[in-house]
Amino acid sequence: MTSLNGLVLVCLTYVAFLFLVAFAAERAAARGQGGWLRAPIIYTLSLSIYCTAWTFYGAVGYAARSGMEFVTIYLGPSLVMFGWWWILRKLVRIGRAQGVTSIADLISSRFGKSNSLAIFVTAMAVIGVTPYIALQLQSVTLSLSVFAAADASTTFDRSTAAFWVAFGLAIFTLLFGTRSLNTHERQHGIVIAIAVEAVVKLVALLAVGIFVVWGLAGGVSEMMTRIDTSEIGQWQTDRARWVTLTLLAGIAFLCLPRMFQVMVVENDDDRQLELASWLFPGYLLLMSLFVVPIAVMGLEMSPGANPDLYVLTLPLTLGQDELAVLAFLGGFSSATSMVIVASLALATMVSNHVVLPIWLARQETQAASVSGDVRDVVMLSRRVSVGLIIGLGYLYYQFSGGSEALAAMGLISFAGVAQFLPAMLGGIFWRGASRLGALAGLSVGFGIWVWTLLLPSFGAGGVLPDTVLTQGPWGITWLRPEALFGFEGMDRLVHAVWWSLSLNFIAFWVVSMFTFPKPLERLQGAQMVNVLDNAPATQSWSATAAEAEDLLIMAQRLLGSEEARALFRDEAIKQGLEGELAEPTPAFLQRLERELAASVGVATAHAMVGQIIGGPGISVEDLIAVADESAQILEHSSQLETKSAELTRTARQLKDANTKLTQLSVQKDAFLSQISHELRTPMTSIRAFSEILRDTQDLSLPDQTRYSSIIHDEAIRLTRLLDDLLDLSVLENGQVTLNRATGTLKTIIDRAVQAAQPVGVDPLIIMRTPDAEDIPLETDLDRLTQVFINLIANARKYCNADDPELTISVTETTGRIVVDFIDNGQGIPEGDQMVIFEKFSRLGDNDGSGAGLGLAICAEIMERLGGRISYLHRSSGTGFRVEVTKAQALAAQ
C-alpha cells in the first residue's frame, strides 16, 4: 500500500520534473531554439487543459450516475473544433492582430477599449470560475482521502487537506506563472508543462481503461456484455439535457478564461489550429473512450463507493498500486494544469483591468512617466490575485460542503462563463454591437445565472432561505430561482442555461439596436469584424519629439530596460535615424501601445500612452470633430472666396464707373465751354447782324434779307439747342406725356427718312426692306420717329465712308421688334462706346453742329416707351439697335 507521505513525495517529484521541463523549454526559447515549442502538436496538447480533474474523475462518476450524458461535455468542444473555420479562425486572427491578453481584454477592446466592461467581465469570470477551482481542490482532496483511508498510519482531515492542497497549488502557480510579465510573449514554460501533463493524464486514464477492459473484463466483447447488463445498460437520456449540455460545453470551450488563454492568446498561426481541429477531438475521444467501461466496472465491483473516484479505487482495491499511483498522478496533473492556467488567466485580467487602472488613477497625472517600475506593481497584483482566486475556490469548497458531484460543480461554472458568448460572438461578427448592448446582455445573463444556478447550488437554506426557493422572493412565485416565469418542472441546469442565455442574447441585441456606439467602438468593431480582410489599423496618436523620452521611460518600466531600449533602437533604425530615440510617429506609437498591451492589456496601455501624449491622444472623437471643423473652415473659405470674387467684380465696376465719370467730367467741361461757345456763336452773329441792321441806314434789300435770315437761322439754332436741353430734362424727370397712337413701322421709318434727309442733295443711300417693315404698332409715334430721325441724321453726319450707306433692317422676334441701323462707316472706338448714350458726350471732332444730346435723348425716349436702344458691337460699321416691345405691337392689332 502506498502511504500518504509516499504519495506526497511522488507529487513533489512530479512537480520538480515539470519545473525542469518548463525551465529547459524556457532556456531553449531564450537561446532561440524554441521553434519546436510552437509546433502545432504542442498547441493541440495545451488545449487539453479543457480536460481537468472533472474529466479525469468526474466523467466516470457522471457516467455511473447518468449514463452516456457525460459525453456531451466532449461533443460540444469537438463540434467547435470541427467548425474552427467559422469561429476560431476569426477569433485567433483577432487575438493576434490586436494583441489580446484575455477574454475581458477582447470584449473591452471590441467595445471601445472600455474599462468598465473589462472590470465587469473580469468580475464575472472570477465568480464564474470559482466553483471550477473548488472542483479541482475537491478532486485532489478526495483522491488523497482514498489513499489515506487505506493508510492507517496517518490521520486525515479533509478540510485541512483541502487547505494544504489549495496552498500548494497557489505556490506552484506563483512559481510557475508569475515570473514573466509579458503574457503575450508566449509562456513557453507553462505551455510545455501543460503539454507534458496532457500526455500524463491521457496515459494514466488509458492505462486504467486498458486494465479494466482487458485485465478485469477480459476483452472488448465481454466488456460490452457487462455494460449492457449493468445499471446503466439502457440508453436513457434526458433529451433536453443532451442538447443543452452539448451546446453549453461548446460555448464554455470558447468562453472559459483558461481556454481563451491557451487557444487564442498562445496561438501563433493558423497551422496550429488546423492540426488541432481534428487532433484535439481525437484527444477528447481517447479521454472519454474508457469512461463507461470504468464506470460499469466500478458499479459492479464496489457499489456504494463514490463513483467520482472509481478511477482510483478500482486499481487500489485490486492491489494494483503502481497503476493507482499513475492514476493519481493523472488526476493531479489535470487539477494542477487547470488551476495554474485558470488562475493565471484570471490574475492577468484582475491586475490589468482592476488593479492597474485603480493604481494609475491614484497616481498623479504624469504617473506613467515618473521613475519607478510599474512592473513591480503588475507582478505584485498578479501574485496577490492568484492567491485570491485560489482562496475563493477554497472558500467555495468549504461553503458548499464539498459534497457535490464534480460534474455538477463544473456545469455551474460552464453556465457562468457561457454568458460571455453573445458579447464575444456578437462583437466579432456584428458591427452593430454596442458597448451598452454588451453591458446589458452580460448583466442580464449573469444576474439570471447567479439567481437560478449559483445561489441555489449552495443548497436550500445555504444562501437562499428555503422559502425563496419554494415560493419566490417576497412571495413572487414567478421569480422562483428554479421556475422563472412559472415554468416548472424543468431540469435546474437546462432551465438556468436557456433563460440566462436567451435573455442575455435578447438584451444584448435589443440594446445594441437602440444605442449608438461611440466612434472608437465603431472603428474597433469594423477592425474586428473585418479582421480576415486585413483591415489596416485605425488608431492614431500624435506626439512631439519631446515626449519620446517620456515614452521610453514608461516603456522601460513596463517592458524592462533592455527590451524597451531594443524596441526604440529597432524603430529608430527603421526610421533611418541615428541614436536610440525613435521619433514618436503615429505608427510607432501604435506599435508601442500594442507591445504594452501585451503586458498590461489594451485598455490600460491605451490609457498610459494617452497620459504621456496628453489627454486621450488624438481620439477618434477628436478626429471627427476636427473633420467637422475643417469642413466648416472649407465652407467658410469658399464663402470668403465668393465674397472676394464679388468684391473684385464690384471694384471693377467701380473702376469702370470712375473711368466713365472722369471721362464724362472731362466731356462735361468740354461741353460747357462748347455750349457757351455754341450759345455765344449764334448770339454773337445775331448781335452783330442786328446791330448792322439797326445802325446801317442804307442797306440794300438783298443784304437786309440776307442778314435777317442769318439772324433767323441763328435764332433757330439756339432754339433747337434749348429745345433739346429742355426735352432731355423733361424726359429725365419723367414728366413726359406719351401720345399713344397706332401706325405701322413703315410709316414711321418713312417719316424719319424724309425728315432727316432733304430730298436730292444727300449722298447717304438708305437701304430698306419694306416688306419686313409692315408691322403695326401702338406707341408714341412722334417720339419713335424722333429716335429714328436722330439715328439717320447721325449716320448722315458722321459716316465717313466714300459712299455712305445706311441699312435699316427689321426683325421680328418673340415679344419684340428689332430695328437695326447699320452704316458702312468706321464705327465707334471701343472706349467711347460706353459714353455715347450719356448726356453731353460728343465723339472725336466737333464741328459745333451738335450738342451731344441726341443719343441721350434717344435712350431716354426708348426707356419711356418700354424699349431700348443699344450700340451694336459686332456690326461692320456704326450700328444701333432699337428694340420695341411687341406687346405694344400686338395690342395694336
Partner 1 sequence: MPDRPEASVFLERRSYRRRRLLDGLKLLPFVAAWLFMLPLLWPDGGAHSATSQSMSSALIYVFSVWFVMIVIGGALIAAQKKVSLKGKQDASEEPDP
Residue ranges that bind partner 1, judged by CB under 8 A: 67-68, 71, 75, 78-80, 82-83, 85-86, 224-225, 227-228, 230, 232-237, 239, 242-243, 246, 274-275, 277-279, 281-282, 285, 289, 292
Please say which residue, 70 or 172, places its beta carbon nearer to partner 1: 70
Work out how close the CB of 225 gets to partner 1 at its nearest, in angstroms, rounded to a whole number. 8
Please say which residue, 221 or 813, places its beta carbon nearer to partner 1: 221
Work out how close the CB of 482 gets to partner 1 at its nearest, in angstroms, rounded to a whole number. 24
Work out how close the CB of 202 gets to partner 1 at its nearest, in angstroms, rounded to a whole number. 15
Work out how close the CB of 81 gets to partner 1 at its nearest, in angstroms, rounded to a whole number. 8
C-alpha cell at 620: 477618434
Please say which residue, 252 or 324, places its beta carbon nearer to partner 1: 252
Please say which residue, 55 or 108, places its beta carbon nearer to partner 1: 55
Closest CA to 279 of 39, 52, 68, 62: 39
Q: Which residues contact 266 (CB under 8 A, 6 or more apart)?
A: 43, 46, 186, 187, 191
Closest CA to 80 of 50, 104, 108: 50
Using DSSP, state whether 342 is helix, strand or coil.
Answer: helix
422: left (phi over 0), alpha (psi -120 to 50) or beta: alpha
Work out how close the CB of 72 gets to partner 1 at its nearest, in angstroms, rounded to a whole number. 8
Work out how close the CB of 52 gets to partner 1 at its nearest, in angstroms, rounded to a whole number. 20
Using DSSP, state whether 568 is helix, strand or coil.
Answer: helix
Fill in the DSSP letter of residue 34: G
Work out how close the CB of 493 gets to partner 1 at its nearest, in angstroms, rounded to a whole number. 17
Please say which residue, 85 or 478, places its beta carbon nearer to partner 1: 85
Please say which residue, 234 or 814, places its beta carbon nearer to partner 1: 234
C-alpha cell at 628: 467637422
Please say which residue, 79 or 553, places its beta carbon nearer to partner 1: 79
Please say which residue, 220 or 887, places its beta carbon nearer to partner 1: 220
Work out how close the CB of 483 gets to partner 1 at its nearest, in angstroms, rounded to a whole number. 24
Please say which residue, 235 or 516, places its beta carbon nearer to partner 1: 235
C-alpha cell at 429: 461578427
Work out how close the CB of 120 gets to partner 1 at its nearest, in angstroms, rounded to a whole number. 31
Place of cell 492514476: 327
Please say which residue, 16 or 289, places its beta carbon nearer to partner 1: 289
Please say which residue, 288 or 524, places its beta carbon nearer to partner 1: 288
Work out how close the CB of 247 gets to partner 1 at its nearest, in angstroms, rounded to a whole number. 10
Contact criterion met (CB below 8 Å) for 128 and 417: yes
Please say which residue, 77 or 177, places its beta carbon nearer to partner 1: 77
Work out how close the CB of 239 gets to partner 1 at its nearest, in angstroms, rounded to a whole number. 5
Closest CA to 581 of 592, 566, 569, 593: 569
Please say which residue, 77 or 850, places its beta carbon nearer to partner 1: 77
Work out how close the CB of 79 gets to partner 1 at its nearest, in angstroms, rounded to a whole number. 5
C-alpha cell at 369: 512617466
Pairing of strands 868-871, 765-768: unpaired
Please say which residue, 24 or 289, places its beta carbon nearer to partner 1: 289
Beta bridge pairs of residue 823: 806
DSSP string, 406-474: HHHHHHHHHHHHGGGHHHHHHHHH-TT--HHHHHHHHHHHHHHHIIIIITGGG-TTTSS-HHHHHH-GG
Q: Which residues contact 268 (CB under 8 A, 6 or more apart)?
A: 38, 43, 96, 186
Work out how close the CB of 490 gets to partner 1 at its nearest, in angstroms, rounded to a whole number. 17
Residue type, 831: G
d(C-alpha 358, C-alpha 892), whole Å: 96
Work out how close the CB of 409 gets to partner 1 at its nearest, in angstroms, rounded to a whole number. 25
The alpha carbon of 520 is separated from its chain's Cα centroid by a whole number of angstroms, namely: 6
Please say which residue, 303 or 401, places its beta carbon nearer to partner 1: 303
The alpha carbon of 855 is separated from its chain's Cα centroid by a whole number of angstroms, namely: 71
Please say which residue, 75 or 855, places its beta carbon nearer to partner 1: 75
Contact criterion met (CB below 8 Å) for 486 and 478: yes
Please say which residue, 101 or 246, places its beta carbon nearer to partner 1: 246
Contact criterion met (CB below 8 Å) for 738 and 865: yes
Contact criterion met (CB below 8 Å) for 386 and 126: no
Work out how close the CB of 83 gets to partner 1 at its nearest, in angstroms, rounded to a whole number. 3
659: left (phi over 0), alpha (psi -120 to 50) or beta: alpha
Q: Which residues contact 663 (CB under 8 A, 6 or more apart)?
A: 834, 835
d(C-alpha 118, C-alpha 605), whole Å: 13
Contact criterion met (CB below 8 Å) for 150 and 468: no
C-alpha cell at 107: 470584449
Work out how close the CB of 106 gets to partner 1 at its nearest, in angstroms, rounded to a whole number. 22
Please say which residue, 75 or 799, places its beta carbon nearer to partner 1: 75
Closest CA to 548 of 535, 564, 529: 564
DSSP string, 531-558: GGGTPPP-------THHHHHHHHHHHHH
C-alpha cell at 597: 498591451
Fill in the DSSP letter of residue 37: G
Tally of residues, the chain: 893
Contact criterion met (CB below 8 Å) for 788 and 752: yes
Closest CA to 332 of 31, 12, 656: 12
d(C-alpha 518, C-alpha 262), whole Å: 31
Closest CA to 109 of 435, 535, 586: 435
Q: Which residues contact 665 (CB under 8 A, 6 or more apart)?
A: none
Work out how close the CB of 82 gets to partner 1 at its nearest, in angstroms, rounded to a whole number. 4
Work out how close the CB of 411 gets to partner 1 at its nearest, in angstroms, rounded to a whole number. 18
